[in-house]
Amino acid sequence: MKGYVVQLEEATTTNTDYRRVLYTGKHSQLVLMSIEPGDEIGEEVHHLDQFIRIEAGQATVTMDGVEHRLEDDWAVIIPAGTRHNVVNSGDIPLKLYSVYSPPEHKDGTVHPTKADDAEEHFDGVTTE
């Protein structure tokens, strides 16, 4: 089968891994994240566009020094070249999904905790 079908809200809210790549296409990638209270992804800049939707919890998203408060059902688009960070500002795990365009991580990447996070950039191998 070509493509990927998922009940995304359920997959996102039940995910307990810090990072889990669900699907990698040639031009985009779907990734789930669960960030513990007080934790963050860490400030970074990508060469790609990123869409993030919050399914549970609260976040402070900083883009080029400007803070935005997000909660359930909010989304943000982070354009390529934007210095950004996502911080869990709530008291429950922050559950979100991200769409990278083009892909950012190796297909099949799973980091159970932030401590397991390793630089595993996309290597050209897709899910299909």
CATH code at 105? 2.60.120.10
Number of domains in the chain: 1
Domain membership flag for residue 108: yes
Cβ partners under 8 Å of residue 89, min gap 6: 58, 59, 60, 69
Asked whether the predicted pLDDT for residue 1 surpasses 70, the reply is no
Helices then strands (H, E): number in the chain?
1, 9
- What pTM was estimated for this model as a whole? 0.95
Domain that holds residue 73: 8-116
pLDDT of residue 120: 81
pLDDT of residue 112: 92
Domain membership flag for residue 2: no
Q: What is the pLDDT of residues 13-64, one digit of tens each?
A: 999 999 999 999 999 999 999 999 999 999 999 999 999 999 999 999 999 9
Domain membership flag for residue 107: yes
Encoded tokens for 13: 């809210």
Exposure letters 25-43 (e unless 16+ CB within 10 A, then b): beebbbbbbbbeeebbbee
Q: What is the pLDDT of residues 61-113, one digit of tens each?
A: 999 999 999 999 999 999 999 999 999 999 999 999 999 999 999 999 999 99
Domain membership flag for residue 126: no
Domain membership flag for residue 89: yes
- Top-confidence residue, 82 or 120: 82
